[in-house]
Amino acid sequence: MAYVISDECISCGACQSECPADAISEGKDKYAIDPGKCTDCGTCAGTCPVSAPGPQ
């Protein structure tokens, strides 16, 4: 299952630059993960300062 970004996101962009699948993009209020591109690697969760990304 693809990871999702919770409302805890502070839009810092740390996860986007670290995503090896280029699955993360800036959204209106928070970053979003494209479930079709996400490989469930967890890199985003490991780089996020507020633990916003996580398994769906």
User: How does pLDDT run across 12-55, given as a tens digit for each residue?
Assistant: 999 999 999 999 999 999 999 999 999 999 999 999 999 999 99
pTM reported for the whole predicted model: 0.91
User: How does pLDDT run across 8-24, given as a tens digit for each residue?
Assistant: 999 999 999 999 999 99
In a domain, 11, yes or no: yes
Return d(Cα 36, Cα 48) in angstroms, integer.
21
51 and 3 in contact (C-beta within 8 Å)? no
In a domain, 51, yes or no: no
Residue ranges making up the domain that contains 11: 3-46
- 7, burial (CB in 10 Å: exposed 0-12, middle 13-18, buried 19+): exposed
CATH of the domain at 34: 3.30.70.20
